[in-house]
Structure 1
Amino acid sequence: MWDSLVERVQEFFFNMLVSAINSLLGTTANIFEKSIDNVQSGIVETPEQFSPTLVEALRLISETAVMPVAGLILTYVFCYEIYILLTERNRGNEFDTGQVFFLIFKAAVIILLISNSFDLTLAFFDLSQWMINQISVGSLSVTDIFQTGITDGLEEGEIGTALTLLIVALIAMVFAFFIAGIIYLVAWSRMITIMLYISISPLPFATLMNRDWVGSIGQNYLKQLVALMLQGFFMIICLVVYAGLIEKVSVLIIDEGATVYGILLMLVSMGVLALMLTRTHTLAKSVLGVI
């Protein structure tokens, strides 16, 4: 009778531990899945889709505060080009009217670019959205895998193992909160950077008229825009790779009956994803040779 009572108590505590483990693992997976889903939808969004009100406010700021300064910079660059033209031609003794007309034509083109610079910068991210939409990203759901696969590896009465697994699952949940925060940070900081870049767009466009050190400002700005565009593409690729890692982990859990090791692999997969997401902007800039 006493042995039967002990077995019932052990069974009760074991079932309670398994239920707690399932709850913690489910919470961990749900936290991470929601962050992945939000990031995935956020990457696809253009600035206008993210916040039309904010984009219109930035457009007004760009036209009223930045555009006049861009006009001053363009005037300086135009005068600088006239100076270079005169000094290169024997201090004006061999004045070429054709080059002057060409210079005026370039100024007219740059004025047109400056006037539409805000819309041109937004067009970069419309192109980014098109690229990302060509990638088919499957479901990244992992809740069922870790709730059933890991606890199924426990045998009845293994209270010590279940208690260890409970502690590991609790640590995993805390780690998931931390990793999810990093993922949100990367996604939102990219969008804020995009907003900052489009708000100041008339200034670098005003320097494109010059081909020397002044013009390099505008060229570097365009490279940075393309880098931000490619960052979204690389972030989606990271999610695709993460889906492959999760599939590999699920095979180990189901086929080999791994428990703590399975949770460890899940945490490693989360960490690798967060690390690669933080490096996507640097990777995009290195592809374009941006300093």
Structure 2
Amino acid sequence: MKILGLVGSVRQSGNSEILTKEALLGAEEEGAQVEILRLTDYRVEPCKGCAACLLQERDCVIKDDANFIFAKMAESDGIIVGVPCYILEATAIIKQLIDRGFAPMQQNIMRGKVGGVIVPYATRGWTQNVFQMTNTWLLALGIQVIDQLLIHVQGLSEAPLIQDALEKSRNLGRQVVRAIQTGDASFQGEEGICPICHDRNIRILKDMETVECPVCAVRGSLKIEDGKIRVVFTPEAIARHRWSVENLQRHFSYHLKPSKDFFIKTKTQRKEMAQKYKDYLKKS
């Protein structure tokens, strides 16, 4: 069994790397082989929007390191992501890899794997969107997140001084291995609102009656019980979450791939009409 640690921080031996390595030590204790990649050591270009991966059902055509990263993830049994929170969100490398994820999403090369997330952060109250990004990335790839930790670490590389942070991270590594060994990928962390990603963010829809998880698109309703807000999700709504196999297949097969015929049919027309915008404000 192999567990891969992915560090989304540019800082070498910073808190994200320290806590990810602590989790990998826990995984080793449970008998796993471990490896680590510092994502910012690799060149990951922005998605070109060319749709080659979608329409030709192939790996991304961009010649950088994204395909290598996804291949390393695919050959592993479990994934542990350590990434700092900067101004409410995860670092930019995570968004880059989300955008480059169409090919591995279609290929289903990671579905059924188990993962965990560790987020060190400095300022309380500035972490609201960080798990939206990590959950979007991992759940879109079919990786079941079994725990996600927010670790308050104010100073640079000070994680070794915080015993509770080390213990929680090491335990996360153990949990990932045990989930693979037992086949039980149920969520082990602090329960949130969404029954899929366990984040606590919700959107209020335009009908002013329905709420949904912005990541998983599970829809529910609000209730007030004993002065406290409760979100109620039906089993049917939970089963229709965005990341289910059926919904992802529908997304690609019925929403995206049919555009291929239209794309081919209108190629000449689009090229002629687009010339106006290529010439407009063109630099001399």
TM interval, short-chain normalised: under 0.3
| TM superposition score normalised by structure 2 | 0.24
Find the structure with the greater CA-based Rg.
Answer: 1
| TM superposition score normalised by structure 1 | 0.24
Compare the two structures and name the one with the higher strand fraction. 2
Compare the two structures and name the one with the higher helix fraction. 1
